[in-house]
Amino acid sequence: MATTGGKNSSGAGDPARTLELLWRDSAAAPAARRGPRQGLTVDAVVDAALALADGGGLDALTMRAVAQRLGVTPMTLYTYVPGKSELLDLMLDAVFLRMDRPPFGPEQPWRDRVTSVADANRALHLRHPWLVDLRIVRAPLGPGVMAKYEYELAAFEGLGLDDVARDSALTFVLGSVQAGARAELDARAVERESAMSDGEWWAAHEPLLARVFDGARFPLASRVGEAAAVAYGGLYDAEHAYAFALARVLDGLAALGTP
Amino acid sequence: MATTGGKNSSGAGDPARTLELLWRDSAAAPAARRGPRQGLTVDAVVDAALALADGGGLDALTMRAVAQRLGVTPMTLYTYVPGKSELLDLMLDAVFLRMDRPPFGPEQPWRDRVTSVADANRALHLRHPWLVDLRIVRAPLGPGVMAKYEYELAAFEGLGLDDVARDSALTFVLGSVQAGARAELDARAVERESAMSDGEWWAAHEPLLARVFDGARFPLASRVGEAAAVAYGGLYDAEHAYAFALARVLDGLAALGTP
DNA sequence: GGGTACTCTATACAACGTACAGAGTTATGG
DNA sequence: CCATAACTCTGTACGTTGTATAGAGTACCC
């Protein structure tokens, strides 16, 4: 087990400053600034941070590492960004903004649309594993967050939902996807870190687990646990879990329209 | 925004040692040990850790704080527990083990049973806010984890699911609950930290958000976002979100039985 | 051409988990 | 009975983190 226990709190900073950054309010600052020209841009900082986090997770994202990647001193970053939490805000908005948003066809059934939203979000989380470790306390309302929200709400057209229910439905879908992605990423991480596949691990410690699979004490758990393990070849089958969850989510939403 | 970015990885330690600890294998050690009697117990350490984490989250859970609470030096803890990640394993198993598990009546419809499982898990997450920050990479198969799994699997009796599907269904339900709990805890945290309610925050920064609620650029988002905000009184309504998600989950599961 | 606002750097601090070395204590083997 | 081995608990120390603070140098404004 691992945590992501950290300071890293946000929303703490001045929200006005954060919003300026998110929308890259060059208008807010005078066109001609005084001292030396800046050698970098906010985007460069964000991109460097993204490269680090995408590759090595939030653990690899340190201000020192970002600075080194950009060839500057750590403290230089604070000229571009008020702190690490604001940098995370910017990273989040950036990956949201860059998501593909193919327009929905007017004839496309809502199940297809919601499925494609779910698929896109799963892919997003797998490409940016640090996303699941982010605690989005007060969503940074940047262009990416807004564009994503706007687009994804449209997927629920034709379900007969009022506005409030539509927001709830989207939250519900995204929550399910995120939960699945989290489990999947955790499973991947453990294989990488222990250099041992799930199956190998289980085999290696089978003797110790005799009491766990004690059919007398835990009849259901041992039976179902083993059935699941056998079905997936000893591995947690993320693909299967995702397909199952998505089907349930869609059916659950469908039941809204047919009371 | 905040993270829980941290080392704190587990499964890293010797799994045999962890299992011994989880099941409190006093049998594994000789009855009479050599040096001085131990002044504490593993349970005392776990309880101290739980008190800290329940009150202040994972940020408050430091080895130094646990030690201070027990009146010992930080390093003393390492006599009882190999490291922090194993301590987290023990904490997780402990709170699972202590959950209430009222037996299901044989006549009780599955919807009631699954609802009570969901309710119990929501309550668990709200009582132990650090749970959502834990990355359960390789579930520590202690008595608590097993008992919980055994109990919760029983809730799906009568749905006509095979063993593999039953495991998937449980995972799906727990994932939804956890996603909701996470959002709820994040919402709470931000109110506490900023000493500003969601409504106050929005009001204070409304001018800055003009472009966000630009009806021309984000017609759906601004309309739906505002409708949701008005419906909840400006606040994220966790109760509503939970009820909505649970109803969808149950309907989604119901669709399994009626093809 | 000062003064001022800026950029970037160097140093420093308080946390964190825990490695390491030791001092003191107890059961065990000769 | 006593030396030794095994154990508990402590003190100190290291490397890593985010970032406060102070200063050196640079470019624009009046």
Query: Can you give chain A as a three-state secondary structure string?
Result: CEECCCCCCCCCCCHHHHHHHHCCCCCCCCCCCCCCCCCCCHHHHHHHHHHHHHHHHHHHCCHHHHHHHHCCCHHHHHHCCCCHHHHHHHHHHHHHHCCCCCCCCCCCCHHHHHHHHHHHHHHHHHHCHHHHHEECCCCCCCHHHHHHHHHHHHCCCCCCCCHHHHHHHHHHHHHHHHHHHHHHHHHHHHHHHHCCCHHHHHHHCCHHHCCCCCCCCCHHHHHHHHHHHHHCCCCCCHHHHHHHHHHHHHHHHHHHHCC
CB B249 within 8 A of CB A252: yes
pLDDT value at B27 more than 70: no
What pLDDT score does B196 carry? 63
What pLDDT score does A191 carry? 73
In Å, the largest CA–CA distance within chain A is: 77
Task: Name chain B contacts of A201, Cβ cutoff 8 Å.
Answer: 15, 138
Dihedral sign (CA B179, B184, B187, B193): negative
Taking alpha carbons only, the member of A153, A74, A137 closest to residue B190 is: A137
pLDDT, one tens digit per residue, over B108-166 is 999 999 999 999 999 999 999 999 999 887 788 899 999 999 999 999 998 999 999 99
Estimate the crossing angle of helix B84-97 against helix B143-154, to 10 degrees: 40
pLDDT value at B258 more than 90: no
Cβ A7 to strand C below 7 Å? no
Pick the more confident residue, A203 or B251: B251
Strand C positions with any atom < 7 Å from protein CB? 4-11, 15-21, 24-28
Domains and CATH numbers, chain A: 15-25+40-96 (1.10.10.60), 102-129+140-197+235-257 (1.10.357.10)
pLDDT value at B242 more than 80: yes
Closest chain A C-alpha to B166 CA, distance in angstroms: 8
CB B235 within 8 A of CB B199: yes
The one-letter amino acid at B201? W
Pick the more confident residue, B222 or B30: B222
**B248/A147 touch (CB, cutoff 8 Å), yes or no:** no
The parts of chain A modelled with pLDDT lower than 70 are 1-13, 26-31, 193-204, 233-235, 258-259
pLDDT value at B19 more than 80: yes
**B6/A11 touch (CB, cutoff 8 Å), yes or no:** no
Measured distance CA(B208)–CA(A142) in Å, rounded: 11
Task: Name chain A contacts of B154, Cβ cutoff 8 Å.
Answer: 220
Q: Which residues are bridge partners to B2 per DSSP?
A: A135
Interface test with A, best of B137, B145, B200, B258 (most A CBs within 10 A): B137
Å separating the CA of residue A237 from the C1' of nucleotide D13 = 45
pLDDT value at B7 more than 50: no
Q: Is A97 on the interface with B (CB under 8 A)?
A: no
Q: Is B167 on the interface with A (CB under 8 A)?
A: yes
Pick the more confident residue, B177 or B225: B177
From chain A residues 48-67, the ones with a CB under 8 A of any chain B CB are 57-59, 61
Q: Is A194 on the interface with B (CB under 8 A)?
A: yes
What pLDDT score does A232 carry? 75
Q: Is B192 on the interface with A (CB under 8 A)?
A: no
Closest chain A C-alpha to B34 CA, distance in angstroms: 26
What pLDDT score does A111 carry? 97
Number of Cβ within a 10 Å radius of residue B164: 18
Measured distance CA(B169)–CA(A167) in Å, rounded: 24
pLDDT, one tens digit per residue, over B45-88 is 999 999 999 999 999 999 999 999 999 999 999 999 999 999 99
Interface test with A, best of B134, B214, B224, B230 (most A CBs within 10 A): B224
pLDDT value at B43 more than 60: yes
Length of chain B counted residue by residue? 259
pLDDT, one tens digit per residue, over A63-106 is 999 999 999 999 999 999 999 999 999 999 999 999 999 999 98
Question: Considering CB atoms only, which of A150, A179, A220 is closest to B218?
Answer: A150
Interface test with B, best of A1, A111, A153 (most B CBs within 10 A): A1
